Structure 1
Amino acid sequence: MTQSAELSRSDLDTAPDAESPIVMALPKGRILGECVPLFGHMGITLPQDLVDESGRRLRFPTSHPGLDIVRVRSFDVATFVAFGAAEIGICGADVLMEFDYPEIYAPLDLGIGRCRVSVAEPEETAGKDDPSRWSRVRVASKYPNIARKHYAARGIHAEVVHLSGAMELAPKVGLSRLIVDLVQTGSTLKANGLVETEVIASVSSRLIVNRTALKTRPEVIGAWIARFRQAVEQGQI
């Protein structure tokens, strides 16, 4: 272990005596499961009901006295951190793109939760029209800002139908011409007769930090950033 890593670990172990625990926001679902090895590399044990999501508890202590965790919806992680309800968090780059909170600093790509934000449309219409000739298009998405910005950059007005789920149904029932959604394997698209026609952005999960917390508790927050960076490096070995 390097001297800087040793200093970071020392800061973390002594901080709780003087200050309250850092609150970290984690997302429900797949990313939460992929976070477990990272915490393992740091020697931190997570409560079982945090990981399996079987209970109703929303805030959890960890085996480290300087860290508590709140479990929230993936889109809410950025909001919790931006507004200071949690000092740090883990969320996908898609969430950061959609909300673009200036209060958030994202110092570290954790290399987990890999997927992509893509455009998809029905197999029967894919490739039969030139998008460069469009002046407007109706899109179903849970990412209205990403969708609008993507098409605005091409001079196309995107009318976004904001949906929280079942995106793949939208083109089939005439709700939209295409969808902008998160894609991991593409199996759900295929099962619903859609094809991926364009990748807007590749996505992985990031460690995010509230900028005010970083200014007011720089040693503690900085030590957590260093500790997560070391965990990522250990996971790549």
Structure 2
Amino acid sequence: MGNPLTIALPKGRTFAETCDLLRQAGYKLPDEFDDTRKLMIDTLEGNLRFILAKPLDVTTYVEHGVADVGIAGKDVILEKEPDVYEVLDLKLSKCHLAIAGLPQTVANGVVQRVATKYPNVASKYFKEQGEQVEIIKLNGSIELAPLIGLTDRIVDIVSTGQTLKENGLIETETICDITSRFIVNPVSYRLKDAVIDEMASQLSRIVEGGTT
């Protein structure tokens, strides 16, 4: 058998949904898949290889051809703007990218500093609104920034809104909706177009069928 199709999958909160979608699409994932600490796993048939990566790294692996295809959040795609084909909206892990702050700072309407994991997306959004703000990049506990007076607002992923509520923050604006996407390396597509098209078709059948 030739080179396997290499797929980069995001570990974390979206992993279970992603695995379920692949299984529904007819792909036999190894039994050890759901609780393994391995970072690379091959199927018994040898036709698929999986890279289990941090969500922020999936687009990097696909862009540089380490993985042929991958599943990445639209938030990561918008932030990194990788040179990949965005083939299919998988409609998984639905959430949105939002602006939030403390009620008292929201009331005065002043936005000078914004904390976020997504500095490029945030900077572009505020520029489009004609607002000049200082963007402060944080890698975790974004909600802490307004509480300690570091920033006036945050830009972060919101799913249920419970984390904002528990920290006394309120959402003020939605920047965009976020779902998981099936992405493809352009060179890999030229070399493995048949198998990639088959995977996209199988995934699309499940997504459009509404069975995920």
Instruction: Provide TM-score, normalisation by structure 2.
Output: 0.93
Q: Supply the AA of the counterpart residue of 1:90.
A: I
Q: Any stretches of 5+ residues in structure 2 without a counterpart? A: none
CA contact (8 A) 2:14 2:93 kept: yes
Alignment of 1:1-237 (within 5 A): 17=1, 19-52=2-35, 55-62=36-43, 64-101=45-82, 103-129=83-109, 137-236=112-211
CA contact (8 A) 2:105 2:152 kept: no
Q: How many residues align?
A: 212
Q: Give, in whole Å, the separation in 2 of the partners of 1:223 and 1:46.
A: 17
Q: Give, in whole Å, the separation in 1 of the partners of 2:17 and 2:191.
A: 30
Give per-residue Cα distances to partners, 1:28-51, cap 9 Å, x unaligned. 112111112212222223234432
- Displacement of 1:234 after TM fit? 3.8
Q: Give, in whole Å, the separation in 2 of the partners of 1:180 and 1:147.
A: 7
- Displacement of 1:63 after TM fit? 5.1
Q: Which range moves more in the overlay, 115-124 or 41-50?
A: 41-50
Query: What is the DSSP-based 3-state SS (H/G/I as helix, E as strand, rest coil) of the residue aligned with 2:181?
Result: strand
CA contact (8 A) 1:90 1:206 kept: yes
- Displacement of 1:216 after TM fit? 2.1
- Displacement of 1:65 after TM fit? 3.0
Give me the CA root mean square deviation: 1.7
Q: Supply the AA of the counterpart residue of 2:194.
A: E
Q: Any stretches of 5+ residues in structure 1 without a counterpart? A: 1-16
CA contact (8 A) 1:44 1:62 kept: no
Percent of aligned pairs sharing the same letter: 38
CA contact (8 A) 1:50 1:71 kept: no
- Displacement of 1:120 after TM fit? 0.5
When Rg is computed on C-alpha atoms for both structures, the one with the higher figure is 1
- Displacement of 1:158 after TM fit? 2.5
Query: What is the DSSP-based 3-state SS (H/G/I as helix, E as strand, rest coil) of the residue aligned with 2:133?
Result: strand
- Displacement of 1:235 after TM fit? 3.9
Query: What is the DSSP-based 3-state SS (H/G/I as helix, E as strand, rest coil) of the residue aligned with 2:57?
Result: helix
Q: Give, in whole Å, the separation in 1 of the partners of 2:103 and 2:130.
A: 25
